[in-house]
A and B are shown apart, each in its own frame.
Chain A
C-alpha cells in the first residue's frame, strides 16, 4: 500500500523554538506539498516542490521554510514557532501532472502542532 508518512502525529512546542516536520513518501512521486488546515479556512498551501532541491512558495509561506534534498523526503521548518502556527499540518504527494493526466494527491495522516 502506497504511503505518505509524517514523523509525528501530535507535537507541542514552545514559542520561539525551531520546529521540523518531516514527510516521507514511498511512491516515487515528483510533487510534494505542505498544507495547513484550520477550522473555517480549509486547506492552505504553504510550500510545494516539483523536484529534488526545488521549492516554490504557496499561498502562506511566511514563517516557514522547506527542504527537499531527496526525492522521497520533504521537510517543513518553522524558523521560530509562534502561537498562530498552531494548526494541523498535512503533507501530500502526487505524480507530475501531464497532458490528459488526472493524478490525485495522497496525504499523510497529519501532524497536529500546538505552540504554547
Chain B
C-alpha cells in the first residue's frame, strides 16, 4: 500500500470555480503535512503547510483530518495560473512521502 495516495486527475475547471483535492495517508504516526505545487518540467515548490486546526492562505485552504487520515486542499476563485500538479506530502520524523500528484487544468 502506498504511503500517500492522490487522485491523479486531471481536474478540468473553468476560471472562477472552486476545486478541492483530497489525499489519504497510511501512517497514523505521521507528523507533518504539506501541499506542494509543481509546474510542468519544474521542481516542486512548497504551497503551504497543513496544520491540525486547518489554515488558509488567500484563496487556498488546507485541512487535516487525523481520524480519517486525509488532508485536503481547497482552491477558491481558480485562476489560469493555478494550472499545475499539486503534490500531497506527509512526513514522519525526517522522512517525507510524496503523493503522485493531482493535475489541475483551469480553462478560460
| Chain A residues proximal to chain B, CB less than 8 Å | 31, 33, 35, 40-43, 45, 48, 50, 90, 94, 96-97, 101-110, 112
CB within 8 Å of A: which of B26-79?
31-32, 34, 36, 41-46, 49, 51
Contact B43 A104, beta carbon cutoff 8 Å: no
Name the CB-closest residue of B to A106: B46
Tell yes or no: B100 within 8 A of A by CB.
yes
Closest to B85 in A: A42
B81 CB within 8 Å of chain A: no
In the bound complex, do residue A109 and residue B32 qualify as a contact, i.e. CB atoms below 8 Å apart?
A: no
Q: CB-CB < 8 A to A108: which residues of B?
A: 43
User: B98–A104 contact, CB under 8 A?
Assistant: no
Q: Is the CB of A48 within 8 A of B95?
A: yes
Q: Which 4 A-B pairs have the closest CB atoms?
A: A42-B100, A107-B43, A104-B46, A43-B98
Contact B43 A102 (CB under 8 A): no
Q: Cβ of B42: which chain A residues have Cβ within 8 Å of it?
A: 109-110
Q: Name the distance in Å between B29's Cβ and chain A's nearest Cβ.
A: 13
- Contacts A/B (CB < 8 Å), 14 sampled: A42-B87, A42-B99, A42-B100, A42-B101, A45-B95, A45-B96, A94-B96, A102-B34, A102-B49, A104-B46, A105-B89, A105-B96, A109-B43, A112-B41
